[in-house]
Amino acid sequence: MNKNETLFKVRKAYNHVVYYFMRLPKITRYMVIALLVAYVLGKFFNPYFFILKGIGFGFNPIQIVTYAFINYDFTQLLFSVLAIWLFGYQIEDYWGQKRFATFVIVCLVATAFAHLLLGSQFALGVSGLVFALLLAFGMMWPNREVYLLLPPIPVKAKYLVMIYAAIMFFSVMASSAGIINNLGYLAGPLSGYLLIQYWRKKPPFNGPKKQTKRKTKIYRVK
């Protein structure tokens, strides 16, 4: 294979990636860009100010959102970006931008407050939202078949979500932040689940069932 053929294949692959990336819904696309840009900038500038820090450890309200886009671990960042790309775009395409944006903000903020309530000294990364997206995808399309790249076989969404969530969970728990601190990320899927149930008007938000009065027929005696 000569140099020109190699350049042609690289350019073709690049065009395919750009094409599929630009077809992503806006919020999913902007989140992927923000995560990648923040990671690159973190190599040149210290992002410590934007990391969520506990009360008394340098907390600032802006950190309730910015913490999610700071990540030092490339492997964890890669899994997060892939999850948002693979699952987030389908959820946004189904819900629409407004509802998807609400879901993202609620999960990010709930995760941040959970860390503050647990007394975490610091928190960073979008793992709480990733867990929530995996849960949402599994709840809506549990039997949808998703094709893996390696190996190229179809897997039902509910199984893929469980495998992916397990990888993310052990990746987060294995970090140096400590188990108690990392439990705050579980607030993401919990808040996401409650929000979905609220939208669906299902337990615990369906309320007591109204008792309907049965109409009784009156028969006249002749």
User: Per the domain annotation, does 173 fall within a domain?
Assistant: yes
**DSSP E strands: which ranges in 6-133?**
52-53, 122-123
User: Per the domain annotation, does 211 fall within a domain?
Assistant: no
How confident is residue 219, by pLDDT bands cut at 50, 70 and 90?
very low
Model confidence, pTM: 0.81
Work out the percent of the chain whose per-residue pLDDT is above 90.
Answer: 43
User: Per the domain annotation, does 216 fall within a domain?
Assistant: no
Could you tell me the CA-to-CA distances from 13 to 16, 51, 84, 166, 216 in Å, in that order? Answer: 5, 35, 21, 31, 72
User: Per the domain annotation, does 218 fall within a domain?
Assistant: no
User: Per the domain annotation, does 38 fall within a domain?
Assistant: yes
10 Å CB burial of residue 17 (0-12, 13-18, 19+) is exposed
| C-alpha to C-alpha distance for 45 and 130, rounded to whole angstroms | 25
pLDDT at position 199, please?
94
The domain in which residue 121 lies consists of 3-200
Chain centre distance of CA 133: 4
Judge whether residue 221 has pLDDT over 60.
no
Q: Which of 60, 177, 79 is nearest to 122 (CA)?
A: 177
User: Per the domain annotation, does 136 fall within a domain?
Assistant: yes
| C-alpha to C-alpha distance for 69 and 39, rounded to whole angstroms | 8
CATH of the domain at 12: 1.20.1540.10
Report, in angstroms and rounded to the nearest whole number, the Rg of the chain calculated over CA atoms.
22
Structural domains in the chain (count): 1
Helix H or strand E segment including 146: strand 145-147
- Quick: pLDDT tens for 46-97: 999 999 998 888 999 999 999 999 988 888 898 899 889 888 989 999 999 9
User: Per the domain annotation, does 215 fall within a domain?
Assistant: no
Helix axes 26-41, 74-83, angle to 10 degrees: 170
Q: Which residue(s) pair with 53 in the sheet?
A: 122
| Phi, psi for 28 (deg, rounded to 5) | -60, -45
Q: Which of 30, 22, 201 is nearest to 100 (CA)?
A: 30
- Quick: pLDDT tens for 124-175: 999 899 989 988 998 898 888 776 555 567 778 778 778 877 776 776 666 6
Q: Which of 34, 188, 32 is nearest to 103 (CA)?
A: 188
User: Per the domain annotation, does 122 fall within a domain?
Assistant: yes
